[in-house]
Amino acid sequence: MDENNPMSSPDQWEADVERRYPSAKRSTQANPEYRNYQAEVRPTVREFYRLNHQYQTFDFVKQKRTQFLPLQRQRMSVWEAMEFLNTLVDDSDPDTELSQIEHLLQAAEAIRADGHPRWFILVGLIHDLGKILCLFGEPQWAVVGDTFPVGCAYSSTIVYHEFFRMNADWGHAVYSTECGIYERHAGLENIMMSWGHDEYLYHVTKAYLPIEAQYMIRYHSFYPGHRENAYTHLFSEQDQQLFEWVRKFNPYDLYSKSDERPDVESLRPFYMDLIDEFFPSELAW
Ligand code: FE
Ligand code: FE
């Protein structure tokens, strides 16, 4: 394990979120495992949250946006990006963990099975492709983790909120106020979110997708917003409405993981057609 990457894979964070927000079925079983969330967080995941909260400052986000948002690193098709992401393996147990492609296909297949529109299935397929940031050498805390606005007070609903005391923006005259540098109800498009795979993929794909899909991609890790209903003082009317779609997507991300591995080769033709329907043969990453 290296200091900057305490988890064996970024998927440990997703597993932790699933434990924090157990599915209705699991929580009604009153499983004691789910009663005391914080006591049960793995030390590696706790350390990951500490790094994330300490280093995701307003200036850090600005710097990452300047570094990555020109999208000049690589040109790749969506399927190539999926295969590239798949080279990211869990160093603890690569044999039992689902591969990245398998997670994407499971989410997409669950959405498809529920009869949702094709663009919604496509969101399931691509939603985590921004994690290729890990393969560009970015630390886990700058790729995954619950996201939140920067430049204003960190909501007390954010997991391990106490770690923000180590953040350079903590106590800042403006950034520590409720609205910070923003107007009340400024709308999320005017708010800078902590940097990670959501924001990056949103910029790569936004030109080709309906706005509902853009929201699902851009805010799927914004648990303080879509699960805790925090930050509504920054939301516009449109954000409130479109967050219904973000909430609709979330269960497919968290609860569609099953031990049954999707058959990548047999599913491939369907998904190649779906990709072609929306995207050009190459995207700028
Ligand atoms: Fe994700
Ligand atoms: Fe995911």
pLDDT at 60 over 90: yes
42 Cα–ligand 1 center, Å: 19
d(CA 263, CA 105): 9
d(CA 143, CA 147): 10
One-letter amino acid for residue 147 of the chain: T
> What's the pLDDT band for 167 if we cut at 50, 70, 90?
very high
Mean pLDDT, to the nearest integer, of 53-79?
A: 98
135 Cα–ligand 2 center, Å: 17
d(CA 209, CA 214): 6
* pLDDT value of position 30: 56
Strand partners, 284: 75
248 Cα–ligand 1 center, Å: 14
Whether residue 199 contacts residue 218, with contact meaning beta carbons closer than 8 Å, is answered with yes
> What's the pLDDT band for 257 if we cut at 50, 70, 90?
confident
In 3D, which of 195, 186, 227, 205 has the Cα closest to residue 125? 205
Question: What are the domain boundaries of the chain?
Answer: 11-284
75 Cα–ligand 2 center, Å: 23
123: tokens are: 């969101």
Which ligand is nearest to the Cα of residue 252, counting in written order? 2
Mean pLDDT, to the nearest integer, of 151-161?
A: 98
Predicted confidence (pLDDT) per residue in 20-36, tens digit: 999 877 665 555 555 67
Using CB atoms within 10 Å of the CB of residue 217, give its burial: 0 to 12 exposed, 13 to 18 middle, 19+ buried: buried
129 Cα–ligand 2 center, Å: 9
d(CA 119, CA 217): 12
218 Cα–ligand 1 center, Å: 9
Mean pLDDT, to the nearest integer, of 234-247?
A: 98
Q: Is 263 helix (H, G, I), strand (E, B) or coil?
A: coil
* pLDDT value of position 89: 80
70 Cα–ligand 1 center, Å: 21
In this structure, what DSSP letter does residue 131 have? G
Q: Say which range, 14-28, 79-93, 98-112, 137-151, has the weakest mean pLDDT.
A: 14-28
Which ligand is nearest to the Cα of residue 201, counting in written order? 1
* pLDDT value of position 138: 98
Is 15 or 33 the better-scoring residue by pLDDT? 15
Q: What percent of the chain has pLDDT over 70?
A: 94
Q: Say which range, 64-78, 201-215, 259-273, has the weakest mean pLDDT.
A: 259-273
122: tokens are: 């496509």
Mean pLDDT, to the nearest integer, of 125-145?
A: 98
Q: Is 62 helix (H, G, I), strand (E, B) or coil?
A: helix
